[in-house]
Amino acid sequence: MTTPQPSASASRAARGEPVLCVEGLQTHFDLRQWGFVRVGSVRAVDGVDFTLDAGETVAVVGESGCGKSSLARTLLALHRPTDGAIRFDGTPLNGLSGSALKAYRGRVGYVQQDPYGALPPFMDIQRILAEPLIIHGVRGRAERARRIDAALEEVGLTPAADTRGKFPHQLSGGQQQRVVIARALLLRPAMIIADEPVSMLDASVRVEILELLRRVQREHHLALLYITHDLSTVRHYVDRAMVMYGGRIVEQAPVAELLARPGHPYTEALLSALGDPDADNAHRQREVPGGEPPSLIQPPSGCRFHPRCRHAMPGKCELEPPPPDFRPRPDHRIACWLHE
């Protein structure tokens, strides 16, 4: 039995070891004809390396279809990785099954994009929140009720009694997302994976939910992996950001560094597409990368960004994929031949 205990993780964190360590991760989905003849595969995650420290918030940024949600699901053990290693608290995730896998799932919280869809519509909030506790063997109705109330109050649904008996459709989108966050926190996880947690919410409640995530992340010293397509929400809420393109991480750096000195042409393009609250912008011509997101079934050769890249070097970029760790600065990693 290799279930890491909270005290063990705390001591590991103290020694500076990362909570999550991902090396060469690949998640491919087979394309089959007639149900059994393999005719190709979707390379949704195709060689990803990164680490996540305790108490650290890291953003994964990328456009739709770049593989960031597949990455999240692989980390949640919802997809089986094709290759590569995931270590959580020093324990390898590969081949984990049965009670060990269940124990791992209890230590990772998941916040989804669509809060209404994430809550079973036929259960009331009390029942929804009791489910993870029942599954993880929290016995005693009173004990469960106490923890549910505490979680609801922690995410700002006070008094808990007002929310407990309601059904998901009786709550607003923001309240629903708070319940989802409460559910993710219930089992006292070491890490939370939030997949586009605010993209389906009204602009007015996005900030509240992001503030809530940051608060609980700090209070519980959680590792938070924040997946988004929206760079504008990244600036204030994360420590580090990773930019994903075509199933790979093309650049990772502390968020201030990344925003100030983007190294990869794709990051530059993303940043230039970002709205800036400046009146002059209205008349400025922006440079937006043309073309389509890359196919994950037949990805471009060499650097996956080269067909859309302004700086592509013929005879180099389309032939050889760049290694992911050109480091202009120690904590800034870029996968681009420009930085060779």
* Residues lying near another protein in the complex (CB under 8 A): 35, 73, 76, 78, 101-102, 105-106, 108, 110, 112-114, 117-122, 124, 131-132, 135-136, 167, 180, 183, 187
Minimum distance, C-beta of residue 102 to another protein, in the bound complex (Å): 4
Q: Which is nearer to another protein, 144 or 332 (CB)?
A: 144
Nearer to another protein, 134 or 297 (CB): 134
Closest approach of Cβ 94 to another protein, in Å? 18
Could you give the count of Cα atoms lying within 13 Å of 305 in the half-sphere of its Cβ?
30
Farthest CA pair distance, the chain: 68
Neighbour-count burial of 44, counting CB atoms closer than 10 A to its CB (0-12 exposed, 13-18 middle, 19+ buried) = buried
Q: How far is the CB of 3 from another protein (least distance, A)?
A: 12
> Smaller CB distance to another protein: residue 108 or 336?
108
111 phi and psi angles, rounded to 5 deg: -115, 120
Question: Quick check: 66 and 244 in contact, CB under 8 A?
Answer: yes
Instruction: Give which of 200, 209, 233, 227 is closest to 117, Cα–Cα.
Output: 200
Which 3 state secondary structure label does DSSP give 20? strand
Q: What is the rounded CA–CA span in Å between residue 224 and residue 213?
A: 9
- Looking at beta carbons only, is 108 or 334 nearer to another protein? 108
Least separation in angstroms between residue 162's CB and another protein is: 16
Considering beta carbons, is residue 108 or 152 the nearer one to another protein? 108
Q: How far apart are CB 25 and another protein at their closest, in Å? A: 18
Q: Which residue, 181 or 249, has its beta carbon nearer to another protein?
A: 181
CA dist 210 and 258 (Å) reads 20
The number of beta carbons lying within 10 Å of the beta carbon of residue 42 is 19
CB of 55 to another protein, least distance (A): 22
